[in-house]
Amino acid sequence: MTIGTTRKQVVQAYIEGFRRTDHDMILSCLADDISWLIHGYRTLDGKDAFDAEIENDAATGSPTLHLQQLIEESDTVVAIGQGQMTLKVGGPVDFVFAEAFTFRDDKISRIETFHINLSANDVFNAPDA
What pLDDT sits at residue 57? 82
Q: Specify the pairing of strand 107-118 against strand 30-38.
A: parallel
Strand partners, 81: 67, 97
What pLDDT sits at residue 120? 54
CATH 3.90.1170.50 correct for 6-118: no
Q: SS3 of 11, please?
A: helix
What pLDDT sits at residue 26? 97
Q: Does residue 76 register a pLDDT over 50?
A: yes
Taking the mean position of all CA atoms in its chain, how far away is CA 71?
14
61 and 46 Cβ atoms separated by less than 8 Å = no
pLDDT tens digits along 103-122: 999 999 999 999 999 975 44
What are the extents of the domains in the chain?
A: 6-118
Q: For residues 46 and 60, what is the distance between their CA atoms, to the nearest angstrom?
A: 24
Sign of CA dihedral 24, 26, 31, 32: negative
Q: SS3 of 12, please?
A: helix
